[in-house]
Structures are given as C-alpha cells and as structure tokens.
Amino acid sequence: MCGRARCALRPDDVPWACHRGGASVRTINMERYRPLYNVAPGWNMPVLRMDDEASDGDVVVLQCMNWGLIPSFTKKTEKPDHFKMFNARSESIKEKASFRRLIPKCRCLVVVEGFYEWKKDGSKKQPYYIHFKDERPLVFAALYDSWVNSEGETLYTFTILTTSSSPALQWLHGKSE
C-alpha cells in the first residue's frame, strides 16, 4: 500500500466493517476525525482496537489516531515524522524493536474505502485507485503506540502492516518496487 488512502466512512461503519457491529463501542477523540478522499500520513483516521480497560472481549474502542507510527521511546523534544513509519512490512515486524514490542497488545484495524498506488512510467507517475468493485471497505491490520510530546500531550499513532503484492496487482506494484 502506498501512502495515500480514501477514508470518508462514517464512524459507525468502522466496527461493522471489522465484523464487530454487535460489540459495545467506546469512542476516543473521534471529534478529530474528518472524512477525506485523499488521506496522507500525519492525518487522523478512525482505528478499531480492543478495549484494555474492559474485562469483557465484546467491548472495542473506536479511536481517532494519526497515521504514521511515532514510537513511545521517541524523545519528547523530537519533531514527529509520520512519514518514517506509516507502513511496516509484516514479514519483518518481529525483527524490528519499534514493531516487535507492539505485537502482543497494540494491534488494531484500519478501515478505508480504498488506497492509491502509483505506477512509474519513466519520469511520470500515474495514480490508480485500488478498491473492491462492490464498494465494501478494505480492512488493514495495523499496530499502534502512544507518545508523549514536550507539552505533555499524548499522541496515538499507527502503522499499517503490508506484505507482497497479490498476483492481481503485480502489474502495478511488482517485487522490484
């Protein structure tokens, strides 16, 4: 997946898309969410995760988080760079400390209508919008973390897990890219 997506869903549609429509949903920071047709790293998106505070597995949290992981161990004085870790290759997340420590308890789902991928043709790039024909949402596995900046504000961020392109998309995003 490239660094752009379409996320114009209503917040109520996110649990439904993740097959958690019957669960109790607690919301956090959803007033920050703005539906957009061209979301980039650094922007807010709705994320669905398990509720750490609930003893019952039927409670989920719908939380608005920034796309682009800022690890909790980042220095408070550093300027966050959401473009550094907006995607993580699933094949190597266990090898990298930034991701490995998040696997047990900081997993989440990100729902979008589609994403944009660019095909290079010499010096030109042609964008393509990837989505289901029946317009159902795409659900991505992701990892999240929280970071406290120098002002004491806690920022929740996430990275989308990626893998090799499917055979249907090799023409667009082959192994060499």
Active-site pick, 2, 91, 151, 177: 2
Mark whether 117 is an active-site residue: yes
Active-site pick, 18, 106, 108, 117: 117
Q: Encoding tokens for residue 32?
A: 């920050």
Mark whether 2 is an active-site residue: yes
Catalytic residue positions, numbered: 2, 117
